[in-house]
Every structure is written in C-alpha cells, then in structure tokens.
Chain A
Amino acid sequence: AQSVTQLDSQVPVFEEAPVELRCNYSSSVSVYLFWYVQYPNQGLQLLLKYLSGSTLVKGINGFEAEFNKSQTSFHLRKPSVHISDTAEYFCAVSAQGAQKLVFGQGTRLTINP
C-alpha cells in the first residue's frame, strides 16, 4: 500500500516570494507522483506529474517538483508566487500499474500582498 504525507497543512507567504510545499510518500513498489491544485469550490487540476526519466519535473503556472527516490520526497516549488496561486495543493501517488490515486491531506497556500 502507498501513503502520502504533506508536512505542512498551511503555508502563508508574501507575494513574489518563493515557496516550497513538502510531500513525502511511502511505497514498497515503484510509483508515479502527482501534484494537483484545487481552487475554492472547484475540482482538481493537474499541476505536474513524475512518471519516469528526469527527476526535475516542470508543470503549469511556473511550478516544478523534484523526485528524490532516496528521501522518498516530491516537493513542489515556485520561485515567485502570485495572489492567484492561493489554493489547496494535493500531492498524490499511485503504484505503477495501479489505477487509484492516494492523496495527501493537502496544503493550503495563502498569498499575502
């Protein structure tokens, strides 16, 4: 079975500051990794995914994440955030060959002007 831990439930940052949202996972098999964003009262939108290859993955809206197998982490980063990035961010994992996603508890990113 897989599990995901998002280490911060809330992250407040100032506009134009850098941000890192942390995600650790556990799994006994190889996995795929995902970050989703959820704006208020909306569904989930895929930000980026790691399937294989380069461990640095670039996504939409200027976000990127790095897969670190030895530390079982997949932290999300953005060098300069905007007010519009205010949302809930979910890290998710699935075992390769499986179909269901296992989500973390979410991190609420709040951008202050």
Chain B
Amino acid sequence: NAGVMQNPRHLVRRRGQEARLRCSPMKGHSHVYWYRQLPEEGLKFMVYLQKENIIDESGMPKERFSAEFPKEGPSILRIQQVVRGDSAAYFCASSPTGTGSPEAFFGQGTRLTVV
C-alpha cells in the first residue's frame, strides 16, 4: 500500500513563475491537507480538501495560492507569481475520515526554491 505521494520532491522556480505541487493521497483516503514548513519553523496548516470541495482554507494566503482536489487525479497546490518568501517545504497529508481522530499520513514533501 503506497503512502502519500508528492511530486516533484524538489522544484526550482524563478520569481514570477508558477509552481504546481501534486499530491496523491493514500489508497482509500478522501481527505487531503496541505501544510507549509518555512525554514527553521514548524508546519503551518494551509488548506483541507475533500474530493471537489475545499473544506477549510483558513491558512491559505489570500493571493496567488490556490488548491484543488478533483474527482479524478491528484490534489494540486498552485502558487502563481512566486516570490522568494514562498521558498519552503510543502507537505501533503491524507486521512480516511473527516471526523474523529484527525490522524494524518504525510508525504515526503516538495521543497520549493525560488531564485
């Protein structure tokens, strides 16, 4: 049973470009979460999605960031017009249920570097 798969593992973008980060949840999991880890900091919640629905986006920056989890295919975190401050590790997690224990299984992350 494959775990949470994120790709790419490393992504380099120039300022002003777009970054697309992909996350395939564990088999049987229908809930996806995105977290961001800035250098020397803990993880910060960004967004919680179910298939075709955004449930909680309270941690998403108001501009340039968007997320989706389509009916088919992986969840995508999209960052438009990247800036140096977007450089971070972005982690995806998935869980099988939407209530009760929020035990989440994490992917290995995508490390975004903006140059």
- Interface residues of chain A, those whose CB is within 8 Å of chain B, are 4, 6, 32, 34, 36, 41-46, 49, 51, 90, 92, 94, 97-106
Contacts and interface: CB of A to CB of B under 8 A. Distances in A.
A44 B102 contact: no
Nearest to A36: B106
A43 B102 contact: no
Interface in B29-79: 31, 33, 35, 41-45, 48, 55-56, 59
The winner among A4, A44, A97, A100 for most chain B CB atoms within 10 A is A100
A101 to B, nearest CB: 7
A43 B91 contact: yes
A32 B101 contact: yes
Interface in B65-115: 91, 93, 95, 98-109, 111
Contact of B101 (A44, A45, A49, A102): A49
Contacts of A98: 102
Nearest to A97: B99
Given A43-B91, A45-B106, A90 B45 contact: no
Given A32-B101, A51-B101, A100-B56, A43 B106 contact: yes
